[in-house]
Amino acid sequence: MILQVCTKVCLFIIILFSVHSFFAGHYEPGGGFIGGLMTSGALVLLLIAYDMKTLKNILPIDFKYLIAVGLLFAVGTAAASLFFNVPFLTHAFGDVQIPILGETALHTATLFDLGVYLVVIGVTMTIIQTIGEDE
Amino acid sequence: MLENIVVITLFTIACSMVLLIYRVIKGPSTPDRVIALDAIGINLVAFIALISIELKTSAFLDITLLIGILAFIGTVTFAKYLEKGVIIDHDRD
């Protein structure tokens, strides 16, 4: 009971910290790998405090597809540079007009990092769920 | 002045970690060892914060929060293993 209430409070702090560490990866220590590990750490805390079925209700996705989507993001960002007559994996950056946020500087390395993030979450959760199933 | 204080505190925390390692090795029961390892993790947080004062950088401050989270998750996992025998239930009753 104490653990479950504590999990409800801590989960959002851990996920916020992992998202911060993911987005701060360009200028500070952090990035996709450590952010993904921390997000899956939050999900593991949820698994420990509750059970597998609760996680499946909250997050009804198969984590194996998450690996595929992440790899697709990484390969897609790498291959998109081929359409602009530049070598594979060349990244571009620029200022983009986003409706709500105004003019924002974006870099395509973030999309590559998002691929890493998704793959790390998928691999970690697949390993833990596969080992954790006791029957 | 501040450097001397930081060095003295680092030395004290190192001493307390050595004593905790003695408890990890000697500890008669498993919960003793788990609590000692948890306390070592928290001491490590203090150690890293003091080292980042010593090196005059703020690059390590994320690590302290990370170690705090990891120590919490690790201790909870071990406590649940000691209490129930399984770590991840399939279906909670």
Give the pLDDT score at A71.
93
Q: Is the minimum CB–CB distance between A5 and chain B shorter than 8 Å?
A: no
| Ramachandran category for residue A31: left, alpha or beta (phi over 0 → left; psi -120 to 50 → alpha) | left
Q: Between B59, B70, B92, which is nearest A51 by CB?
A: B92
The reported pLDDT for the residue numbered A29 is: 85
Q: Which of B78, B88, B93 to mutate to test the interface with A (most CBs of A within 10 A)?
A: B88
- Per-residue three-class SS string for B20-88: HHHHHHHCCCHHHHHHHHHHHHHHHHHHHHHHHHHCCCCCCHHHHHHHHHHHHHHHHHHHHHHHHCCCC
Q: Is B86 on the interface with A (CB under 8 A)?
A: yes
The pLDDT of residue A108 is 80
CA–CA separation, A119 and B93 (whole Å):
32
> For residues A33 and A115, what is the distance between their CA atoms, to the nearest angstrom?
10
- pTM comes to 0.85
Least CB–CB distance from B66: residue in A38, A132, A134: A38
Give this complex's ipTM. Answer: 0.83
Around Cβ B85, how many Cβ atoms within 10 Å? 8
Q: Which tens digits make up the pLDDT trace of B22-60?
A: 999 998 899 999 999 999 999 999 999 999 999 998 889
Split at pLDDT 50, 70, 90, the class of A127 is very high
